[in-house]
Amino acid sequence: MAVENGIVTAFAVLYLPLIREFGASRADVAVVQSAVLLVGGLGGPLIGWAFDRLGPRRLFQLGAIIAAIAFVAASRLTSLLGLVFVYGLVGGLGLAALSSNANMIVAALWYPGARGRAIAVADVGTGAGAFAMVPLAQALVTTLGWRATLLVWAALLLGLVVPLNALQRLPDPTHATASAMPSSRDAWTFRDAMRSTAFWWLAGQRFFGACAFPVMNVHMVAFAIGQGVAPAAAATALGAVSLVSLAGRLGTGWLSDRLGRAETLTITYTSAAIGIGCLAMLAWHGAPWWLVLYIGFYGLAQGSTGIVGSARAADVFAGPTFGAIYGWLVLAAGPGEALGAWLGGRIFDATASYLPAFAFAVAALAGGVFSMWRVRPARRGAYDSGVDVR
């Protein structure tokens, strides 16, 4: 998860060099990242299906190999369209197999009595990866260029991710207690899940959250540089968001197990909205402490969409087909992430300002909170973890 999310987040560092390389608009170059995020969501059903059939070890190793091949090929391309296809679509599919979505299924199945905390601990890897790899990407791009940076990403995938996942496995069926899993009579099927309102509200929560965060994660560095922040400092700020998110992810998991899923998401999304407001103040006042406040408030919320959404989905749909059900829920995230990443650039191209894009991100956060509050177990046999998951 650390390598996968580090690569995805570090695109923000590649963004301006790619604009200069291809002489394209911000919206056009953002399509590359939109493709990665779109495939990450649209590939959810395929990843869920493969997870149920291949298991995590083979799935994660195969994804790392596909992504590495794509990055090696992308490093030799001379057209933006080719980069969209190879880096965005092929590389995005490989990264989707390594994403937090698949790893959260593993955590949820291993620790049914403490899903929020287990998912949060696993998800710390995403924050740690971004914190480490964004500054690394800035150093590599500055000294070697973006093409060599892609080769380094391929080496990390093949040299680190593939061998480490040789140890990956799922718990034995006897690991889950009778109270932690539904009986076969009450177990959810994919068709049952699709017919429930809980499924669609969870999908809405994933979509709205996916719209909001890529606006900031893709365009924050470009916005900060536009306000006079040095490129290295802007990249460090993005990495610092990921560092703060380490504490935020652990706190989110702990709160969701004790306070409730919807209540926790309300707190974290409010924190994200406050952070976005602080970043917007940088455009009006220019004081660097607005950027520091953004790092704190926004960083605490980074990752909360997946942690709370995954735990709530497992609360309702845990069972032998949870991988497939969750894969289809993730389908809602891909269009949202692609829309958010692209729309941030499109709004800037149209208005010469990122502030309307930030307003869109806040509105999307509000939509995610509303959707989470609407999630209710759809039938008597729905899973109950034994904690308050209102």
Q: How far apart are CA 209 and CA 305, in angstroms?
A: 6
Q: What is the pLDDT of residue 390?
A: 43
In a domain, 381, yes or no: no
Q: What is the pLDDT of residue 172?
A: 67
DSSP 158-169: IIIIHHHGGG--
In a domain, 35, yes or no: yes
DSSP 286-304: --HHHHHHHHHHHHHHTTH
Q: How far apart are CA 57 and CA 44, in angstroms?
A: 17
Q: What is the pLDDT of residue 86?
A: 95
In a domain, 388, yes or no: no
What range does the domain containing 222 cover? 2-167+185-373
Question: Around Cβ 53, how many Cβ atoms within 10 Å?
Answer: 11
Both structure tokens of 47: 């990843």
Contacts of 28 (CB under 8 A, 6+ apart): 22, 80, 345
Q: How far apart are CA 387 and CA 367, in angstroms?
A: 25
Both structure tokens of 379: 């039938």
Q: What is the pLDDT of residue 389?
A: 40
In a domain, 173, yes or no: no
Question: In whole angstroms, what separates CA 210 from the centre of its chain?
Answer: 8
Q: How far apart are CA 24 and CA 214, in angstroms?
A: 20
Q: Tell me the angle at which helices 100-110 and 44-74 cross, rounded to the nearest 10 degrees.
A: 140
How many domains are there within the chain? 1
Both structure tokens of 281: 């103040």
Both structure tokens of 294: 């953004």
Q: What is the pLDDT of residue 325?
A: 84
Q: How far apart are CA 20 and CA 18, in angstroms?
A: 5
Burial of 178 (0-12, 13-18, 19+ CB in 10 A): exposed
pTM for the complete prediction? Answer: 0.70
In a domain, 53, yes or no: yes
The residue type found at 312 is: R
In a domain, 178, yes or no: no
The residue type found at 361 is: A
Q: Give the residue ranges of the chain where pLDDT is below 70.
A: 101, 108, 113, 127, 172-186, 377-390
Q: What is the pLDDT of residue 379?
A: 55
Using one digit for the tens of pLDDT, what is the confidence trace for 210-269? Answer: 999 989 988 888 898 888 888 888 888 887 887 888 888 888 888 998 899 999 999 999
In a domain, 67, yes or no: yes
The CATH number given to whatever domain includes residue 32 is 1.20.1250.20
Both structure tokens of 279: 């970043």
In a domain, 179, yes or no: no
Both structure tokens of 222: 């470009």
Q: What is the pLDDT of residue 366?
A: 97
Q: What is the pLDDT of residue 294?
A: 94
Query: Checking phi first, is residue 386 left (phi over 0); if not, alpha (psi -120 to 50) or beta?
Result: left
The answer to whether the CB of 218 falls within 8 A of the CB of 30 is: yes
